[in-house]
Amino acid sequence: MSNSTSLFRLEFLYPRFWPNWLLFGCMALIGRLPYSITTKIGRFIGHLVFYVGRRRRQTAQINIDLCFPELNDAERERLLREHFLFMGIAAVETGICWLAPKAKLQKLLKEIKGEEHLNKALEAGHGAILLSCHFTHLEMGGSLLAGYRPLAAVYKPHKNNPLFEAVMLGSRDAHGRVISRSDTRGMLRTLRDNLPLWYAPDQNYKGKFAVFAPFFGINASTNAATSRLAKISKAPVLPFFQERMEDGSGYRLIIKPPLENFPSESAQEDAARINALFEEEIRRRPAEYLWVHRRFKTRPPGEEKIYPKK
């Protein structure tokens, strides 16, 4: 276990980490409750955060207003409130993913659709890129698949909270590799080893591979590295999504066929295609997408900022 994933570090005993330990303890306890009770607790948490999380509520409201102009005020308000309920459920589900017994976690995997697409893609020997977007239950979907078969997960490091980082990485290390989103070599090495690479590039991005591509009709700064990664590795790109079972008993994982004629000669066109793919999936269940993220923070030159300053 690397130093970044080890919990046995003297600094984690310092008082500044005590609130984190309390939080993780609560998450572990809730994660051991029956799933039906866990989700009820999550909905209560989401309802509470809706009222006390003014900044997050404001960001989500702006995003929903921009992306769903066809809805009236009452419909957007309903969508906003429902979104926070799913946010609360996601919070307690993270406790299941990270801290609950793995057997309990895997009981929530009820169905995998399209696994044959992944098996066929790996037969070529170049790995496979599992392309996801940030639904509130993204952690649950990735954890369920990782517990079922080996894969590597790309993640954003939490540099300001090393204890949070260690708990997260320790959980994900249990089933496969974890790779920082800045570690391109690590991603390529994973694909050369013919492993699936789980990757969600739909958040605001302003690095050197950023391009502006439409997302719900709004120019969004988008990470075009997916095209570059696929081109260099020759790995197929398969959309990978998760959805809750209709009866609330667990999850269905959906792996779709590889994108055809991808990548193209235009990184911008590829980014627009991926954004359109995500938009189509989000419109099926809009309340479950991560609207509290400032997706349109980076604007094209000359455009005004969308979000108020923090």
CA distance 43 to 92: 9
- pLDDT tens by residue, 106-121: 899 999 999 999 999 9
236 exposed, middle or buried (CB, 10 Å; 0-12, 13-18, 19+)?
buried
CA distance 265 to 273: 13
Q: Characterize the bridge pairing of strands 210-215 and 218-223.
A: antiparallel
Encoded tokens for 308: 């108020």
> b vs e for 273-298, b when ≥16 Cβ sit within 10 Å of the residue's Cβ?
bbbebbbebbeeebbbbbbbbebbbb
204 exposed, middle or buried (CB, 10 Å; 0-12, 13-18, 19+)?
middle
| Backbone φ, ψ for residue 133 (5° rounding) | -130, 170
- pLDDT tens by residue, 212-262: 999 999 999 999 989 999 999 999 999 999 998 888 889 999 999 999 999
| Backbone φ, ψ for residue 92 (5° rounding) | -75, -30
CA distance 291 to 287: 8
Encoded tokens for 18: 């005590």
Residue type, 105: L
Q: What is the pLDDT along the chain (310 residues), one digit of tens a residue?
A: 444 556 667 788 888 888 888 988 888 888 888 988 999 999 999 999 999 999 999 999 999 999 999 999 999 999 999 999 999 999 999 888 888 888 888 899 999 999 999 999 999 999 999 999 999 999 899 889 988 888 998 887 777 778 877 877 776 665 567 888 888 899 999 999 999 999 899 999 888 889 999 999 999 999 998 999 999 999 999 999 999 888 888 999 999 999 999 999 999 999 999 999 999 999 999 999 999 999 999 999 999 999 998 7
Question: CA separation (Å) from 213 to 64, 89, 223, 286, 304?
Answer: 18, 31, 10, 20, 17
Note if the bond before 263 is cis, omega within 30 degrees: yes
Under 8 Å between Cβ of 201 and 226: yes
User: What are the helix and strand counts (H, E) for the chain?
Assistant: 11, 9
